[in-house]
Structure 1
Amino acid sequence: MPLDRFLSDIDVTPEQRHVIELAFKSTLRNLNLIDRSDPVCEIVARKVIEIGTNGVSNAVAISEIAYKQLNPRE
């Protein structure tokens, strides 16, 4: 699932886009989501974008926050 389709609707700088892409990939890895066609990946994408566009600018921090919010076991 390409993240581009979600990022095209919002105004982000190239740097923000890169950070969000890194955070998205890291979050998928942390959640053990391999199949990009899995509908859960869309939920992850939306959550990472939400966090990344609301003041958090570090890919590691975005990924950690998203993981904690999305992982039911945490």
Structure 2
Amino acid sequence: MTINRLLAGSTYTEKERKSLNWAYRLTLESLGLVERGDPLCEFIARKVIEVRARGVTNASAISRLAIKELKLN
């Protein structure tokens, strides 16, 4: 999965990685996309990680903010 590749070597805990994975899946689902490892999925994964890095910890909130900031919905 794209987000796992981007998280490799990061300092996030296992719990935080699971939350990020969930946020990523929610975001893709909300946008009607399927994880294919393509440039769009990578762009979305990077945005999800960026939102989390700003201190947002709830997966649903991360997803909502990522979608809002991507202006894709």
Normalised TM-score (structure 2): 0.87
Shift of 1:72: 4.1
Aligned residue identity for 1:8: A
Count of residue pairs brought into register by the alignment:
73
Match of 1:5 in 2: 5
Give the match for residue 65 of structure 2: 65
Counterparts of 1:28 and 1:62, CA distance in 2: 12
Percent identity of equivalent pairs: 42
Structure 2's unaligned 5+ residue stretches are none
Instruction: Compute the displacement of 1:53 (Å).
Output: 2.1
For the aligned residue pairs, the C-alpha RMSD in angstroms reads: 1.5
**Whole-angstrom distance in 2 between the partners of 1:63 and 1:72:** 12
What's the offset of the Cα at 1:54? Answer: 1.8
Q: Alpha-carbon deviation of 1:35?
A: 5.0
Distance 2:46 2:35 in 1: 17
Give 1:31 shift.
Answer: 1.3
Give distance in 2, aligned partners of 1:35 and 1:15.
Answer: 21
Q: Does 1:43 align with 2:43?
A: yes
Instruction: Classify the secondary structure of the residue corresponding to 2:41.
Output: helix
**In the TM superposition, what is the alpha-carbon distance from 1:2 to its structure 2 partner?**
2.9
For structure 1, the 5+ residue unaligned runs are: none
Dislocated runs of 4+, deviation >3 Å:
none
